A and B are shown apart, each in its own frame.
Chain A
Amino acid sequence: MILNVTTPDGERHELEALAGWRVMEVIRDWGLPILAECGGACSCATCHVYVDAEWLDRLPPRSEEEEEKLDEAFDVRDTSRLSCQILMRDELDGMHVTLAPMAR
């Protein structure tokens, strides 16, 4: 399956993804610039992405924990998600996400 990712410099990447992998892990595994400091524990908000609106209703809603962590992200939008909290599955084949601006 495919995960489409646009990096902050505007470049679009088509990544081969595996079912069951976290979107953050796919992005990191392909070497794109994602900080993902805590390694997927929903503890740092440095894997913040914007999910294209048409894919949003296929995702499970934000948990309270993800909502709280997004408080530590910047430019949070309705389409904001922490990519460590989204698991790839068949329904998400072809999803497009954009990496959000990161803290320095």
Chain B
Amino acid sequence: MSPDAATAASIATAEGAGPHQTDVTIIGAGPCGLFAVFELGLLDLKCHLIDILDRPGGQCAELYPEKPIYDIPAVPVCTGQELTDRLMEQIAPFSPVFHLSQMAEKLEKLEDGTWRLTTDTGTVIDSKVIVIAAGGGSFVPKKPPIPGIDAYEGTSVFYAVRKMEQFRDRKLVIAGGGDSALDWVLNLQPLAESVTLVHRRDEFRAAPDSVNKMRALVAEKKMTLEIAQISGLQGENGQLTDVVFKDKDRGEWSVPCDMLLPFYGLTMKLGPVAEFGLNLEQNLIPVDTERFETSTPGIFAIGDINTYPGKLKLILSGFHEAALMSQAAVRIVYPDRKIRFQYTTSSTDLQNKLGVA
């Protein structure tokens, strides 16, 4: 069971593709996106969040769930997962709705000024305000720097498995030593013509049970394990014929292969947000420091993805940005409302919203 299973149980995910109606759509469910739910919630704004990962937490969940963080105000030390769990607890009173394992893909403005955001899995969310809290971008599979690999992507090289059937009766090479590589070795071996797992050393960080099963298949000669690295690809017109392996002792040799599945972990890419028509400076989104609004009114950017003079990429800076952004966002959603500044320590109104009054 994953360490975040307890959190996952309390995550409200949306049913159906929509269009969902909400006040604010937040792109990115990392710490800044999560805290924005709190600041917006105190101002009565409801939020939907989109994230490419299958759980909230962003980099805190994906890169360093178990690493200590020392610079959260008043919290001398906590791990990335603990920070995520505490934020989830803090925003629970505002019932945010999560759309996980999907990427914000298209943003358009409807006639009445509403933003319509569509994800790559077809979810549609309508809202008056968009908050981009996308950090370093979407987590996507690392693409190995093998010369010419681009030409094979989508036809012979796959970074994820969508339909297992497409691998039936094929000669597969699967690269990597983690759970993704081992899981797909075990799942695809029964239907592939052949499976070769290639990993740089004879030790695997995947679950021991998967490793044992893989080794049993190797012992039964139902698949091949090569301790080597990929050095090249051979084929033409997007169709692989061979993958070239190398190691120190054996030099280079090639292995017949129709399809290659590299699993080298994830990296961050800005992705379709770059096509939203916003000004960009070196893949960051410039904002003002009063509202943290982008060049497009109604679209805000907070956290690591924004830039302004003096910007520091700190979680605490993102929290501050979320608070100021919320003050501007509420004036867009409720233009006629008089906004009073209140403290959670003294305001019965805020305490009611938090369910603590």
A71: chain B residues within 8 A (beta carbon):
176-178, 199-201, 205, 264
B64–A45 touching, CB < 8 Å: no
Report whether over half of chain B's contact residues are helix, strand or loop; otherwise say mixed: loop
A92 proximity list for chain B (CB < 8 A): none
- Is A74 located at the chain interface by the 8 A CB criterion? yes
1/0 per residue, CB under 8 A from B, across A32-46: the answer is: 000101100101111
Q: Which of B257-305 contact A (CB under 8 A)?
A: 264-265, 267-268
Of the listed stretches B94-102, B137-145, B166-174, name the one at the interface; the rest are far from the partner chain.
B137-145
Is the Cβ of A41 less than 8 Å from the Cβ of B64? yes
Q: Which residues in window 47-68 of B have CB below 8 A to A? A: 59, 63-64, 67
A101 at the interface (CB under 8 A from B): yes
Given A71-B178, A71-B199, answer yes or no on A103-B63 (Cβ-Cβ < 8 Å).
no
In the docked arrangement, what's the CA distance between A23 and B59, Å?
A: 22
Q: Which residues of B contact A101 (CB under 8 A)?
A: 145
Given the interface pairs A46-B267, A71-B177, A104-B143, the reply to whether A76 lies near B59 with Cβ below 8 Å is: no
Tell me the B180-209 residues at the A interface (CB within 8 Å).
199-201, 203, 205
Partner of B264, one of A41, A67, A103: A103
Take A41-B64, A43-B64, A43-B67 as given contacts and tell me if A102 and B201 are in contact as well, using a CB distance cutoff of 8 Å: no
**Docked-complex contact A72 and B265, CB < 8 angstroms:** yes
- A48 CB → nearest B CB, Å: 11
The answer for the CA separation of A67 and B203 in the assembled complex, in Å, is: 10
Distance A37 CA – B176 CA, assembled complex (angstroms): 20
B-contact bits for A11-49, CB 8 A (1 contact / 0 none): 000000000000000000000000101100101111000
What is the number of contacts between chain A and chain B, taking CB atoms within 8 Å?
Answer: 61
Q: Are B63 and A72 in contact (CB under 8 A)?
A: no
In chain B between 13 and 52, which residues have their CB closer than 8 angstroms to a CB of chain A?
none
Given contact pairs A37-B63, A43-B64, A104-B143, enumerate 15 new A-B contacts (beta carbons under 8 Å). Answer: A37-B267, A38-B64, A41-B64, A41-B67, A43-B67, A45-B264, A68-B205, A71-B177, A71-B205, A71-B264, A72-B176, A74-B145, A74-B146, A75-B145, A75-B231
A-B contacts, 28 listed (Cβ < 8 Å): A37-B136, A37-B268, A38-B63, A38-B64, A41-B63, A41-B67, A43-B64, A43-B67, A44-B265, A67-B201, A70-B200, A71-B178, A72-B176, A72-B264, A72-B265, A73-B264, A74-B144, A74-B146, A75-B231, A76-B200, A101-B145, A102-B145, A103-B142, A103-B143, A103-B145, A103-B264, A103-B267, A104-B145
List residues of B whose CB falls within 8 A of some A CB: 59, 63-64, 67, 136, 142-146, 176-178, 199-201, 203, 205, 229, 231, 248, 264-265, 267-268
Q: Which 4 A-B pairs have the closest CB atoms?
A: A103-B142, A72-B265, A101-B145, A43-B63
